[in-house]
Amino acid sequence: MKKERAFKLLSSAITLENQGNQSAAEVSYKKLVTTYPEFEPGFTSYAIFLYNHGFKEAAKTTLREAAQSFKQSSEALRHLGNFLMAEGFDDEAISTFHEAIIRNPDDFSSWQNIARLAAKLGQENLVEEAYRAITRVLPDDSHYWEALGDYLHSKRREKEASEAYQSSIQFNPRAYGVWVKLGIVMLNLNRMDESVDAFEKAVEIEPTTEYAIITLGENLERLGLLDLTEKKAKLKRVDRRARKMITTSLSGLGSMPEAERRYRKLAHDSPRYAGFWHILGQCLIAQSKYSEAESVLHEAVHIDSGLSAAWCDLGIALLKQNRVKEAQDAVDRAVELNPHNQKAAQLSKIFL
């Protein structure tokens, strides 16, 4: 009964605040915390009221006192951490959120803010700890499995990233963007069949997703399916529009400067995917921009050292600059990686 009266008074205070009657609302909040000192939501709501009306120090003092009074709860500490984070006191905020999760290890919001602040401060181990804690608290939330996968992928921990993305897909199998990400990490792990399957699934869900279509085509090309007819047969589960787009993407983009512009954007947006850097290098070679192509292709083979075609094109860019020894090394690497790379095999004869 007492709790019901406290909620009624809280509701009255909130109504007055929403009506713009600040002085009456403040009277109600003060009455609430005085009359019902055991009612924690009264203190946190009063603190938020104070903070929103410019009394920031008073708001934080109210929350610190509430945290002392309600030692089993993380609520006051979580709100205090939010205030500190908003004011830019990042280290103090992280410490406060940590206090909150000591009291309640399942305090999702505190873990979420720890992840955000740790990423900002470069505390990488803490970022991972926070995301793993969130996936423990909310195991069926696909968004946070995806976020964990993104973090692991950024650290080149591709096997763990693939597992996180697969967990995300388990709870949201229609998220074509996660299928694309899974395809990329499988590609980086040289698990080509699984990479192709992932990209096919992305295209099946969203046939107009150009990113997945282009990447799928490049994966199929890398698997040795060099004939476009074979590629389209491989894509039998993909609708006609998607197959037309992949054929267009792989057959040429018309204006080479436009192709360069487009692939620069793709490489910028997805800097860890070697395929876009490789095609950008090809665009530059076609325009006789050999030095720039060399730099771009070096980036491609740095990301994926097993990409035979990119090593071959790097050899061409170097040869065009009369750097014969370096060109030969690049072409030899292309042949070593893929003895069936006919373009590299023909080019290697120049050095005999």
Kindly report, residue by residue over 254-273, the tens digit of the pLDDT.
456 766 777 787 777 667 77
Domain map (residue ranges) of the chain:
139-251, 256-352
256-352 and 139-251 share a CATH fold: yes
CB of 138 closer than 8 Å to CB of 167: no
Helices 192-205, 176-188: inter-axial angle, 10-degree rounding: 160
Strands (E), 107-164: none
Identity of residue 350: I
pTM higher than 0.85 for the full model? no
Return the pLDDT at 278.
84
Whether 228 has a pLDDT exceeding 60, the answer reads: no
CB of 283 closer than 8 Å to CB of 295: no
The one-character DSSP state at 349 is: G
Average pLDDT over residues 220-237: 45
The CATH superfamily assigned to 256-352 is: Tetratricopeptide repeat domain (1.25.40.10)
The confidence band for 218, taking pLDDT boundaries of 50, 70 and 90, is: low
Q: How many beta carbons lie within 10 A of that of residue 109, not counting itself?
A: 17
Sequence-distant (6+) residues with CB within 8 A of 322 are: none
- Taking the C-alpha atoms of residue 200 and residue 308, their distance in angstroms, rounded to an integer, is 23
Residues 105-154 pLDDT 10s:
888 889 888 988 888 888 888 888 888 988 888 888 888 898 899 888 88
Q: Look up the CATH number of domain 139-251.
A: 1.25.40.10
Nearest to 76 by CA among 86, 68, 87: 68
Higher pLDDT, 75 or 176: 75
CB of 225 closer than 8 Å to CB of 200: no
